[in-house]
């Protein structure tokens, strides 16, 4: 006897109860939202403390709070938003992917979206690096990619230690934190592995007391001689990792000659060189990838932030000769973010097609020039530095005695006041640097000339007001 097939529709099920209507975020009381955040979220929250606002809408460089106030965003998700908030190219890529019915989560299975992203990524990389390279998709954050890069090089070399630099920031997980220079976040925790700390060339606060090209040359000489000293205490490491521009360390660009020296030193000693491009990538410094300024070809690059077009995505790209992993050697549940790959491919192509890296170089140079001129009027500005639209303004105590390089002590209390004054004037800027006394400007690459001028006007007014308590507060008229 043949049994009848069950209808494809299956048995009837009761209709679900209607979901309660979602509350309009803009209609919520911002004070109540902030109060609930303080009660519910951990003490480790950071940006929420600096910017007690409740954003409800954002477009381009503009963020609107629940109270109706608008702000120019010079934080850009710590450099994540290369095209600003909700760029049409990004939204269209996300909508197209959603409407296509593509699977949103498939671990590391092959998808058309991943293939397209990988193609766009490799097309954007320096050809000498992209040729013969491999890519590994990691967990969703830059720190995951740093961990993966370390494991990769440990596997390839059979070594365990690493070389890292003063002022470095590579993430908050155990291995990445061991590489990070910030003592305050490392101190409460047990050690994360053997890391040799080397001097990064920081011209304004030179570790050798000379500054400029001389300080960078001394740094390179120190590194080379230390590695060659049989009594220097340095066991051959698995890798050296560095940033071409230190972001969290205070927007400190490494001189190109120094980067070339690091590449030579590591290549001669068969030490893999990892360049952390998490914050510097996708046009931020005036070229697509910061290594292009110096022309060096690293053994691996760590990428995240802007490559996902505002959504979580992180990868390691490396020379194929280091691809010694066995299947499953480094995995992660969320390494297959389809929406991020679609948004990231659209972002990479838009930046390249519209010359936004070159635009960042031009606008960044203009902004840096005006800030340096402002330093002549406001002695609390000790140094202005950066590359492209990655700009740092270091605030100091002008009444204190300068050191051997002419640098005066950092003034973190003033920096906090300036940040608050900026927010009052509708400008979001964050702090960084060794003493949290560096104002960091990371506007999106689509910033207009008018917005750049407004940023500088508001910043200049905020610095003047915060450094002179007797000055009238212009916040109400901003």
Dist CA 473 CA 434 (whole Å): 29
Dist CA 257 CA 423 (whole Å): 38
pLDDT for 285-297, tens place per residue? Answer: 999 999 999 999 9
pLDDT for 252-309, tens place per residue? Answer: 999 999 999 999 999 999 999 999 999 999 999 999 999 999 999 999 999 999 999 9
pLDDT for 223-242, tens place per residue? Answer: 999 999 999 999 999 999 99
Phi-psi region of 373 (alpha: psi -120 to 50; beta: other; left: phi over 0): alpha
Q: In what order do the strands lie in the sheet with 430-432?
A: 381-387, 390-395, 438-441, 430-432
Residue 320: what pLDDT? 95
pLDDT higher than threshold 80 for residue 436: yes
pLDDT for 118-147, tens place per residue? Answer: 999 999 999 999 999 999 999 888 889 999
Place 333 in a pLDDT band, splitting at 50, 70 and 90. Answer: confident
pLDDT higher than threshold 50 for residue 463: yes
């Amino acid at each position: 006897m043949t049994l009848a097939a069950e209808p494809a529709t299956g048995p009837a099920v009761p209709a679900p109860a209607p979901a309660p209507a979602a509350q309009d975020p803009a209609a919520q009381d911002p004070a109540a939202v902030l109060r609930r955040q303080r009660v519910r979220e951990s003490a480790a929250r950071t940006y929420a403390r600096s910017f007690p606002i409740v954003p409800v809408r954002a477009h381009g460089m503009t963020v609107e709070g629940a109270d109706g106030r608008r702000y120019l965003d010079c934080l850009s998700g710590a450099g994540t938003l290369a095209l600003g908030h909700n760029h049409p190219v990004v939204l269209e890529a996300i909508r197209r992917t959603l409407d296509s019915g593509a699977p949103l989560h498939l671990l590391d299975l092959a998808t058309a979206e991943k293939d397209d992203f990988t193609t766009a990524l490799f097309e954007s990389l320096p050809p000498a690096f992209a040729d013969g390279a491999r890519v590994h998709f990691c967990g969703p954050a830059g720190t995951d990619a740093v961990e993966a890069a370390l494991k990769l090089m440990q596997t390839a070399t059979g070594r365990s230690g690493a070389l890292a630099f003063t002022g470095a920031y590579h993430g908050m997980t155990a291995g990445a934190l061991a590489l990070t220079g910030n003592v305050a976040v490392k101190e409460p925790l047990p050690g994360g592995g053997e890391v040799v700390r080397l001097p990064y060339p920081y011209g304004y606060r030179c570790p050798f007391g000379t500054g400029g090209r001389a300080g960078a040359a001394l740094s390179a000489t120190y590194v080379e001689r230390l590695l060659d000293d049989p009594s220097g205490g340095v066991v051959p490491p698995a890798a050296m990792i560095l940033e071409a521009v230190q972001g969290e360390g205070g927007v400190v660009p490494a001189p190109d000659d120094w980067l070339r020296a690091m590449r030579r030193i590591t290549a001669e000693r068969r030490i893999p060189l990892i360049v952390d491009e998490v914050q510097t990538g996708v046009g931020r410094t005036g070229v697509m990838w910061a290594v292009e300024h110096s022309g060096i070809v690293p053994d691996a690059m760590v990428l995240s932030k802007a490559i996902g077009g505002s959504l979580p995505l992180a990868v390691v790209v490396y020379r194929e000769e280091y691809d010694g992993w066995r299947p499953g050697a480094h995995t992660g549940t969320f390494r297959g973010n389809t929406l991020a790959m679609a948004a990231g491919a659209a972002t990479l192509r838009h930046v390249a097609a519209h010359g936004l890296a070159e635009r960042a170089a031009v606008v960044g140079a203009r902004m840096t020039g005006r800030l340096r001129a402002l330093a002549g009027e406001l002695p609390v500005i000790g140094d202005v530095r950066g590359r492209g639209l990655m700009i740092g303004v270091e605030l100091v105590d002008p009444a204190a005695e300068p050191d051997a390089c002419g640098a005066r002590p950092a003034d973190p209390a003033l920096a906090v006041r300036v940040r608050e004054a900026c927010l009052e004037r509708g400008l979001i800027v964050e702090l960084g640097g060794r003493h949290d006394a560096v104002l960091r400007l990371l506007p999106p690459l689509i910033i207009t000339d008018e917005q750049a001028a407004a940023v500088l006007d508001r910043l200049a007014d905020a610095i003047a007001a915060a450094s002179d308590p007797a000055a009238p507060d212009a916040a109400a008229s901003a």
